Amino acid sequence: MIPRYTRPEIGAVWTQEAKLETWLRVELAATDAWAEEGVVPAGVAAAARNRAAFTVEAVDEREKVTDHDVAAFVDVVASSIGPEGAQWIHYGLTSSDVLDTALALQLQAAGEILVTGAKAYRDALIGRALEERDTLCVGRTHGVHAEPTTFGLRLAGFAFEAHRNVERLESAFDQLRYGKLSGAVGTYASVPPAVEARVMDKLGLRIEPVATQVIPRDRHAELTATIALAGAGLERFATEVRNLQKTEVREVEEPFRAGQKGSSAMPHKRNPIRTERITGLARVLRGYAQAGFEDVALWHERDISHSGAERVILPDATILLDYMQGLGEGVAQGMTLHRERMRANLDVTHGALFSQRALTALVESGMSRDDAYRVVQENAQKAWDSGTEFRDLLGEAAPDLDLDAVFDYSAYLTHVPEILGRLEAIRG
């Protein structure tokens, strides 16, 4: 991933140095396990652990000869240990034993960062939702004014979605907590199950039940799909902010820093660049999810058609989601609410958005639903089109109605505390 979208903590998980360090953890855990089984001399295992070293540059240089990254790594590490290393490092293993087990470890490290970020984004939404629980604004369907609601209630919907994504991410990373050390095509012909069990125990991983030569890629596809879904949730929130920041609406604006410039040509502009960035990057995540699905079907026990794709999509998807979550958290915490504009927009239809309450009031007074609908529709549309207050028109059409009860904003606040109370149970 390009540096522009890479935050330092998760970027460090996916460096070449970090990858090779993780490979070394697996190799040394295997050597120790063989020693515990009495195959590798204990002194050799100790020497391997004390002396094993590599440099990225040395591995890269060796790969120019081997044209195989794991073989190049093994050669470099073996030479750092000495004669014993050449004999016992990588003993009984196939490349995928190291690659897939190490990838599981890297993904667990990335998962800790992503789940923490997902919770922070969720909690930022919860905090703002509770703050704005009584902030009246217009609710829209099809982009058209529908009924009054509260901004806190709207944010609560995004917060609960964010919580579901926390749970989905936790589950997706947990089902990737599997390694394998079962040798070529997974028969344990060169590595007994006891060695695999010792290694996985040392590394904090579970054993893949049947690994062929690789861990099945449905596990990785589940992760890329889950990341894409989390990105879609962030995009939904971002799209709402973008719509509310339109000049004609201007109920919400994303944060705008001192010294920030919205346009190189038009100094008045304050553009929703963070939420637009979230929207664009969510599209990238969906593309990675598709590649993840394509990686599931491999030829026979294994090919490497998944390998090149995964070197891109797994680091990039985790790095991008981390970046997007940071943007989403910042927008949720720092967005500016124009409450006076929210109140003004409630009056744009001249009260026509109370049409459902008027309809039910007429039905309760004894009028048939169809007749009541026609009365309300005619007068609501007239109010909207002519600028006449719907309350006045309805009073003329149905003089016996309790208009104060119909045109009562408090009715839209009655159940909000109960709904938002559910947020407290999920806040971190």
Domain coordinates in residue numbering, the chain: 1-91, 93-257+265-339+416-428, 352-406
Shortest CA distance to 282 belongs to which of 227, 232, 237, 224? 232
The confidence score (pLDDT) of residue 428 equals 61
Q: Which residue has the tokens 């009260």?
A: 351
- Type and span of the H or E element at 253: strand 252-253
DSSP track, 289-320: HHHHHHTS--STT--SHHHHHHHHHHHHHHHH
Is residue 204 classed exposed, middle or buried when 0-12, 13-18 and 19+ CB atoms within 10 A define those classes?
exposed
Residue with tokens 């007239």: 382
Rounded Cα distance between 384 and 387, Å, is 6
Classify the phi-psi angles of 90: left when phi > 0, otherwise alpha if psi is within -120 to 50, otherwise beta.
left
Q: Using CA atoms, how far apart are residues 181 and 106, in angstroms rounded to an integer?
A: 17
Q: pLDDT at position 297, please?
A: 95
3-state secondary structure of 415: coil
Nearest Cα neighbor of 274 from 332, 317, 328 is 328
Across 125-200, the runs of DSSP E, i.e. the strands, are 136-141, 144-150, 178-179
Burial bucket for residue 17 (CB in 10 Å: 0-12, 13-18, 19+): exposed
Tell me phi and psi for residue 180, to 5 degrees: -145, 140
20 in Cβ contact with 54 (< 8 Å): yes
91: left (phi over 0), alpha (psi -120 to 50) or beta: beta
CA 38, CA 92: separation in Å to the nearest integer? Answer: 14
> Which pLDDT value is given to residue 277?
97
- The CA radius of gyration of the chain, in Å to the nearest whole number, is 30
Token output for 428: 């971190």
- Smallest Cα–Cα separation from 150: which of 428, 405, 414, 373? 414
Low-confidence spans in the chain with pLDDT less than 50: none
User: What is the spatial distance between Cα 136 and Cα 288, in angstroms, rounded to a whole number?
Assistant: 39
In degrees, rounded to 5, the angle at the alpha carbon of residue 104 between the alpha carbons of residues 93 and 279 is: 145
For 179, phi and psi rounded to 5 degrees?
-125, 175
Cα 98 → chain centroid: 28
Which residues are tagged catalytic? 142, 263
* CATH number, domain 93-257+265-339+416-428, options 1.20.200.10, 3.40.1280.10, 2.40.160.210, 3.40.50.970: 1.20.200.10
CATH topology of domain 1-91: Fumarase C; Chain B, domain 1 (1.10.275)
- Contact indicator for 346, 261 with CB cutoff of 8 Å: no
Residue 389 has which token pair? 């207050």
- Rounded Cα gap, residues 365 and 363, in angstroms: 5
The answer to whether the 1-91 and 93-257+265-339+416-428 domains have the same CATH topology is no
CA atoms within 13 A on the CB side of 169: 31
> What is the C-alpha to C-alpha distance for residues 210 and 144, in angstroms, rounded to an integer?
54
pLDDT for 84 equals 75
Single pTM value for the model:
0.95
- pLDDT in the model for residue 256: 80
Nearest alpha carbon to residue 381 among 372, 371, 393, 370: 393
What distance in Å separates the CA atoms of residue 181 and residue 188, rounded to the nearest whole number?
8
Distance CA 95, CA 71 (A): 8
